[in-house]
Structure 1
Amino acid sequence: MTAQLLGRRLAGEEGRLTSSATIASAATEGTDRLTTFISFESHRRLLRDEATEYQESRFSVVHKRATIASYLFPELYPSHVDDEAMRTPGSVAGDYVGYRPARTRVAPLPVPYDACSDDPLLAPLEAAATTGKAGRLLAQFGLYAKRHRPIHALSTGEARKLMIIDYLLSRSRLLVLDEAFDGLDEPSRRELDHAVRAALLGAEGKACEVDSEVEAAAVLIAHIPEELVPQPTHALLLGQGADGSEWSAGEWQTMAPAVERYFASQIAEQWVPPAGSAPRAAVPKAAGEPLVEFRGVSIRYPPDVSVLDGLEWTVRAGEKWAVRGGNGAGKSTIVDLIMGDNLQGYRQPVWLFGRKKGSGESIWDIKSRLGVLSTKSHMEYVDYADPSVRGAGMSRSSALSTWEVVCSGFYDSVGLYHSVSPVQEAVAMEWVQRLGLG
């Protein structure tokens, strides 16, 4: 059993998330939520549930998708306009309005897609998100100005912050943090550190407020020692023994030396890739030849969100760039512009491999020259591999195996659709074993 699987079982989320409708009902009725689970998996399912709700919504695509405020306060959803939004011209109150799916906390809102804080229908949400504890938490985590931004438009770090704020506003008795610091910028990591310490220790004067009447417990799953905050009282160490099935548990003072040895053992050693796994030879590029050029790129979203403003940037052959910036600064947007996943890129001055984007090139030709590993690509692959995911052409009758994922790298595909040779099979199996995925 992996640490992640243990965390999901503790949170009651093995194979499924608590339905959004259940959570919305609990928020409306003031019911305690027993467990909050913050992880890559809960983030992925949040985005997947939101996208499904939008696709199946009874509202037009011009309506606003679920936002930070509507997610935190589902009981303030502007439901009094439901009937009016559904009526056809000439109909009156009481007429049949057709199929109406159950409303959840990630359902789209019956307001224009560019509605913001001054929209009368959003007044209750605006009041809740700008006052009291919610307003202070949103400000502390840098989401106050984005309280009416759709969830699907949040960066990885911003979505993680939203889940953390949701926990701090709830009355959860158990907090499961599975690599919760991933994707957070340095200020947000400090805020999370302070928030978790305050929530679990009841310390006063910390950065984030919590409900002092609720005694909370936490399960911290991490691969970096610095993310074990506050210092644990107990430790459970898995994956021991020759076959990795043994475990040990006890108080922190007793377990600390073993935990430290475990972290030290995770430091990667230099090793040579399996024979036959070298990447295909790339087309030779002259030193200094431009590969990616942004010639004054500006990306904006309605109503007045500016992500990039006149970005001038060139990546040349042989260079290795580090792109840094806070959550929401536009790092993922840059990747999407290069990959062709942001439609605004086709009307922006972007050049890839010496050719202007949108001048007739195939998106597959571009992607065949790129290697990308990101949170988004990870989520999309997991969605494809999950047989419970339906729609968007991703339905599968069975789960995708680790071996199939590795073998698909021979063909630049998501999923394996070709027979592999004995040599390829041997190479793939060696990769699986070396990475501990077998």
Structure 2
Amino acid sequence: MSDILFSINDATVRYLNNTLLKNLTFTINNGQNWALIGQSGSGKSALLQTIAGRFNITGGSLTYNFGQNINNSISDNKSIGINNKLIALVEPKHHFRNLSNTSDFYYQQRYNSSDSEDALTVDNYLSEIKAIPRTDISWTLTKTLDLLNLNQLRNKQLIKLSNGETKRLMLAAALLKNPVLLLLDNPLTGLDVKTRQEFNGIIAQITASGISIIMATSVHEIPDAITNIAVLDKGNIIEQSTKASFNPSLFKQDITDHIDNAELSALLNTNKSPAIYNQIVKMNNVHIQYGEKVILDNVNWDVKPGDRWALLGPNGAGKSTLLSLINGDNPQAYANDIVLFDKKRGTGESIWDIKKKIGFVSPELHQYFPTDNSCLQVIESGYYDTLGLFRPSNADRAAIALRWMKTFEIDQYSRTLLKNVPASAQRLCLLARALIKNPSLLIFDEPCQGMDDHQQLHFKNVIDTLCKLSNVTLIYVTHYQHEIPDSVDKVLQLDKGKVV
């Protein structure tokens, strides 16, 4: 019996006109669990996609040896078809389908009760998972729901799950397939502190059951069950070692940073809003309820111009719903006492009147944002508050969009389709889109997901500089304390829909 579970030898992986991985050799033995680390765009996600059979290799070879890990009803077939069924990949984005068997979800759908009725519930979704029969392992529904703390969400519609809840559901779906190999692409993004702390034990239980894991992750978040580490750089594996012999101090990114204050100041004055407000947000005893489920319970919040707030709380605390009331996406705003930009909701202002004053980024917006525009077009669309550019590009505005791309160090992607750039670059594009019109209020919901250390530091410095140079109001959501900009000096914390 071979000790080799999977191997790829001297292979090159290309997608469109880009070489993602080159001359790659990588072997996984039975009993090993690997962490892939490296800077954004180094090839971690591409390697996972290749192992999962999503990308074709040119030259070299790719071999699976899964036969000894499954029962005799499955032949020891080396074809990609059968082996793909024994691999489960958990990606940063979900691919949920609705009851009509389409994926035609849209961002605001989760807040519109009639529209969200077409979404599957957690129970519906998990019941459709087809598992390969295994004599050595069986992840039952009960066992999986218990491990990932999903029992209380079984009747909840997928579209209404928080970002962290969605992450746990995607991992549950992968486990129910009883895979030989579980691939995790940055699984900790979007998870609150408590769940991240529990994740180490979750991974330990999964590996103890006989599943091998390969996960792309940060060098700062490597679970105890990981046995081996591969470091990637520019599409190459530059180091492989056991976890015991790996020295994290040798893996240091360049986190020196420089902000062009003069350029940022100039950008802040290209489309400056002359409007002056006394009140950005005022909420009085806000109550949001869907059926028997209370989402927000008598929330009071007063946001003045120039305030910089951190909005904190665990997954499912009500943060995204609270933001949806401000951003004009939730129709229940009309049934509550809410003032936005000195006007009470429901007194004649349109959703577009509200959105033009706000720059907004969230994991959900990233999930549903169309990806067939170029990165430059995506950023220019921020002038019009549309999800993509649906009109001829304006040369002057495109030039400003390019300047914002340079500010975020992503100008090399200006003519590339959004779907063809690394996830971290996609997020930076959406951040630039939020900033381009110089809004009065910035709402950043977990903006640093998927960014490497340098990108996080640079973004944080850009925001702090922006706050020094302007009177912009900021609401910042994160599960990582170190990501909060230094300019933030106020905190609203939610738990179970209440201010704590």
The bucket for the TM-score relative to the shorter chain is 0.5 to 0.7
**What residue in structure 2 maps to residue 356 of structure 1?**
344
Deviation at 1:323, TM superposition (A): 1.4
Q: Is the 8 A contact 1:402 1:432 kept in 2?
A: no
Q: Is the 8 A contact 1:407 1:420 kept in 2?
A: no
More off after superposition, 347-356 vs 160-169: 160-169
- Distance in 2 between the 1:7 and 1:282 partners? 45
One-letter code aligned to 1:235: I
In structure 2, do the counterparts of structure 1 residues 299 and 426 end up closer, same or farther at CA, with 3 Å as the change threshold?
Answer: closer
Choose from 66, 72, 75 the match for 2:126.
72
- Distance in 1 between the 2:177 and 2:313 partners? 30
Matched, 1:164 2:171: yes
One-letter code aligned to 1:233: T
**What residue in structure 1 maps to residue 373 of structure 2?**
400
Q: Is the 8 A contact 1:54 1:65 kept in 2?
A: no
**What residue in structure 2 maps to residue 327 of structure 1?**
315
- Distance in 2 between the 1:232 and 1:332 partners? 33
Deviation at 1:253, TM superposition (A): 5.5
Secondary structure, in 3 states, of the residue corresponding to 2:359? Answer: coil
- CA offsets per residue over residues 183-217 of structure 1, 9 Å max, x none? 111222122221112222x2xxxxxxxxx3xx322
- Distance in 1 between the 2:272 and 2:344 partners? 24
Secondary structure, in 3 states, of the residue corresponding to 1:371? Answer: strand
- Distance in 2 between the 1:436 and 1:252 partners? 35
- CA offsets per residue over residues 29-50 of structure 1, 9 Å max, x none? 9999412222322x2x22xx23
Choose from 101, 104, 111 the match for 1:53.
101
Q: Is the 8 A contact 1:406 1:432 kept in 2?
A: no
Higher relative contact order (CA 8 A, sep 6+): 2
**What residue in structure 2 maps to residue 37 of structure 1?**
89
- Distance in 2 between the 1:412 and 1:376 partners? 16
- Distance in 2 between the 1:74 and 1:432 partners? 42
**What residue in structure 2 maps to residue 218 of structure 1?**
213
Q: Is the 8 A contact 1:172 1:216 kept in 2?
A: yes
Deviation at 1:333, TM superposition (A): 0.4
**What residue in structure 2 maps to residue 419 of structure 1?**
394
Matched, 1:311 2:291: no
**What residue in structure 1 maps to residue 157 of structure 2?**
150
- Distance in 2 between the 1:188 and 1:221 partners? 18
- Distance in 1 between the 2:388 and 2:156 partners? 33
In structure 2, do the counterparts of structure 1 residues 426 and 252 end up closer, same or farther at CA, with 3 Å as the change threshold?
Answer: same
Moved over 6 A (4+): 29-32, 60-64
Secondary structure, in 3 states, of the residue corresponding to 1:321? Answer: strand
**What residue in structure 2 maps to residue 389 of structure 1?**
none
- CA offsets per residue over residues 211-260 of structure 1, 9 Å max, x none? x3xx32222112x3232213643333223xxxx35441322359834x64
- Distance in 2 between the 1:62 and 1:335 partners? 18
In structure 2, do the counterparts of structure 1 residues 313 and 13 end up closer, same or farther at CA, with 3 Å as the change threshold?
Answer: farther
Indicate the structure with greater helix content: 1
In structure 2, do the counterparts of structure 1 residues 260 and 216 end up closer, same or farther at CA, with 3 Å as the change threshold?
Answer: farther
Secondary structure, in 3 states, of the residue corresponding to 1:237? Answer: strand
Indicate the structure with greater strand content: 2
The 5-angstrom pairing of residues 202-281 of structure 1 reads: 202=208, 212=209, 215-222=210-217, 224-230=218-224, 232-239=226-233, 244-252=234-242, 256-257=246-247, 260-262=249-251, 264-265=252-253, 267=255, 269-272=257-260, 274=263, 276-278=266-268, 280-281=271-272
TM-score, normalising length: structure 2:
0.58
- Distance in 1 between the 2:92 and 2:238 partners? 26
Matched, 1:346 2:319: no
One-letter code aligned to 1:199: I
Matched, 1:180 2:154: no
Q: Which runs of 5+ in 1 are unaligned?
A: 16-28, 76-103, 106-131, 203-211, 386-398
Secondary structure, in 3 states, of the residue corresponding to 1:183? Answer: coil
Matched, 1:12 2:66: no
In structure 2, do the counterparts of structure 1 residues 366 and 172 end up closer, same or farther at CA, with 3 Å as the change threshold?
Answer: same
Q: Is the 8 A contact 2:203 2:225 kept in 1?
A: no
- Distance in 2 between the 1:253 and 1:181 partners? 19
One-letter code aligned to 1:314: D
Choose from 193, 205, 219 the match for 1:198.
205
- CA offsets per residue over residues 98-155 of structure 1, 9 Å max, x none? xxxxxx99xxxxxxxxxxxxxxxxxxxxxxxxxx953454345442222111111111
Instruction: Name the Cα RMSD after superposition.
Output: 3.5
Deviation at 1:64, TM superposition (A): 6.5
In structure 2, do the counterparts of structure 1 residues 63 and 316 end up closer, same or farther at CA, with 3 Å as the change threshold?
Answer: closer
- Distance in 2 between the 1:225 and 1:325 partners? 25
- Distance in 2 between the 1:377 and 1:167 partners? 24
In structure 2, do the counterparts of structure 1 residues 161 and 67 end up closer, same or farther at CA, with 3 Å as the change threshold?
Answer: same
- Distance in 2 between the 1:190 and 1:406 partners? 36
**What residue in structure 2 maps to residue 19 of structure 1?**
none
TM-score, normalising length: structure 1:
0.65
In structure 2, do the counterparts of structure 1 residues 284 and 362 end up closer, same or farther at CA, with 3 Å as the change threshold?
Answer: closer
Deviation at 1:68, TM superposition (A): 1.2
One-letter code aligned to 1:330: G
In structure 2, do the counterparts of structure 1 residues 312 and 430 end up closer, same or farther at CA, with 3 Å as the change threshold?
Answer: closer
- CA offsets per residue over residues 392-427 of structure 1, 9 Å max, x none? xxxxxxx32223223434555433332323853752
- Distance in 1 between the 2:99 and 2:256 partners? 37
